[in-house]
Amino acid sequence: MIFTEEYYILFDIVILLLLAKILEELVARFRQPPILGDLLAGVILGPTVLGIIKVGDNVKSIAWVGIVALIFFAGLETEIKEFKRHSKTGLLVGLGGIITCFTLGLVYGLSLGYDLSSSLFLATMLTPTSVSVTVETLIQLKTLHTRVGQVIVSAAVADDIYALFLFTLTYTVVSRGYFSVSELAHVSLGLVILALISYLMFRYSNLIASLMSRLKTVESLFTFTFIMGLSVATLSSFFRLSPIVGAFLTGLALSSMPGSQTVKDRLSIIMAILTPLFFCYAGVLLNPWEVLPKINLSTTASLIMGILLLGILGKIVGCGLTAKLLNLTWTESLSVGIGMIPRAGVELVIAVTGLTLGVITQEVYFSILILIYVSSLITPSLLKLTMYLKRK
């Protein structure tokens, strides 16, 4: 039977979105973040389980707009003043986790016999913490306003920026296959231009907001600022930086403009429909059956265990010890370390990029997915436990 083109397009979108939302609903009953439901929907409908959706081409563009919306929102949510006040401890705690995870990942990759590119990507993938998962967990535990909560949040936000820049660096070096000075200059030019644009947007954000509010098209402030986010995201991918760098910088630059709350409200509507499809898409991309006949299951099992251990212990030790050195108590430091465990969005963006570049294997991608599931699943209960210890 031959169907129209729109049938195939709408079918993929509808079936992914429907299952994602049903699973979001289901995981919410177990107090788990919705992102798990989205990922599972992609894994179930993709080649891993049912194979109903094969390549995900029909959701690709929606997925990218969805992830730009999410990261743009995260930028808008970051208050520059608040961020500056809590930043010293947070910056160092975040850096401690990044350095520990990156070093462990690099050494692990090289010790497995991977080449430098693959090892760099593996190391980079282990570094970022998911702000949304962390904040959501802290809110659930009603500990967002404690010292531990404040340190975790600023560390997680700082961590996100470090990881983005680290990813940019790794991505550029790896995508060219060699360490190129001119390539680094190209990226540096991109970074300078992006920094300049961000500064100008920040400097004139009041003017931008007032001009855009006066336009005649519907929802002009929201649509034009979102188009700015999309444009700078596109510009950063023009310089081979990830689109999320541009999206985050635009959000950060416009975070204190008048009407930013209105823009965030509108973005959250876009995110309710479009962003789940990014994580669905990430799930659909996973195809273990393609490599399963070619791999040794026992080495893959040990790879999963290795990445799980490094990913979780790297954050607990790296962030926890830094927190202890900055005069937090042992239990507070343990809470901080555990609060930095969750992985989600950025790791997946890096992993998807790595797959497209061909520098990470399906085994590594699969291990990262396991890390995301496990880290997101264990954090709420572990954090609850350390918070209980602290109160005693």
Taking alpha carbons only, the member of 125, 149, 38 closest to residue 373 is 38
**Rounded Cα–Cα distance for residues 132 and 120 (Å):** 25
- Tell me: does residue 215 bind a copy of itself (CB under 8 A): yes
- The residue among 88 and 145 lying less far from a copy of itself, judged by its C-beta, is 145
Q: Residue count at the site for a copy of itself (CB under 8 A)?
A: 56
- The residue among 243 and 318 lying less far from a copy of itself, judged by its C-beta, is 243
Please give the structure tokens belonging to residue 285.
Answer: 């991309």
By CB under 8 A, the residues from 163 to 182 that bind a copy of itself are: 175
- Tell me: does residue 377 bind a copy of itself (CB under 8 A): no
- The residue among 86 and 240 lying less far from a copy of itself, judged by its C-beta, is 240
- Tell me: does residue 87 bind a copy of itself (CB under 8 A): no
Residue 51: CB minimum distance to a copy of itself, A: 19
Q: Are 324 and 386 in contact (CB under 8 A)?
A: no
Q: Are 67 and 279 in contact (CB under 8 A)?
A: no
Q: Are 267 and 76 in contact (CB under 8 A)?
A: yes
Looking at 26-34, 47-55, 99-107, 372-380, which segment touches a copy of itself (CB under 8 A)?
26-34
Among 269, 292, 325, 389, binds a copy of itself (CB under 8 A): 269
- Tell me: does residue 102 bind a copy of itself (CB under 8 A): no
- The residue among 199 and 238 lying less far from a copy of itself, judged by its C-beta, is 238
Q: Which residues contact 347 (CB under 8 A, 6 or more apart)?
A: 125, 128, 130, 368, 371, 372
- Tell me: does residue 188 bind a copy of itself (CB under 8 A): no
Among 181, 218, 261, 298, binds a copy of itself (CB under 8 A): 218
Amino acid symbol at 359? V
- Tell me: does residue 30 bind a copy of itself (CB under 8 A): no
Taking alpha carbons only, the member of 272, 281, 289, 273 closest to residue 12 is 281
Task: Tell me the CA distances in angstroms from 209 to 197, 204, 223, 260, one per residue in order.
Answer: 16, 9, 12, 9
SS3 assignment, position 240: coil
DSSP conformational letter for 258? T
- The residue among 97 and 276 lying less far from a copy of itself, judged by its C-beta, is 276
- The residue among 62 and 197 lying less far from a copy of itself, judged by its C-beta, is 62
Phi, psi of 169 (to 5 degrees): -65, -55
- Tell me: does residue 281 bind a copy of itself (CB under 8 A): no
By CB under 8 A, the residues from 290 to 349 that bind a copy of itself are: 349
- Tell me: does residue 280 bind a copy of itself (CB under 8 A): no
- Tell me: does residue 62 bind a copy of itself (CB under 8 A): yes
- The residue among 14 and 305 lying less far from a copy of itself, judged by its C-beta, is 14
DSSP string, 127-182: S---HHHHHHHHHHTT-TTSHHHHHHHHHHHHHHHHHHHHHHHHHHHHHHTS--HH
Task: Tell me the CA distances in angstroms from 116 to 58, 98, 220, one per residue in order.
Answer: 34, 18, 47
- Tell me: does residue 185 bind a copy of itself (CB under 8 A): no
- Tell me: does residue 384 bind a copy of itself (CB under 8 A): no
By CB under 8 A, the residues from 220 to 259 that bind a copy of itself are: 220, 222-224, 226-227, 230-231, 233-234, 237-238, 240, 243
Residue 377: CB minimum distance to a copy of itself, A: 18
- Tell me: does residue 189 bind a copy of itself (CB under 8 A): no
DSSP string, 27-45: HHHTT--THHHHHHHHHHH
CB atoms within 10 A of CB 298: 8
Interface positions with a copy of itself (CB under 8 A)? 3-7, 9-14, 17-18, 21, 24-25, 28-29, 34, 58-62, 64-65, 68, 175, 215-220, 222-224, 226-227, 230-231, 233-234, 237-238, 240, 243, 266, 268-270, 272-273, 349, 353, 356
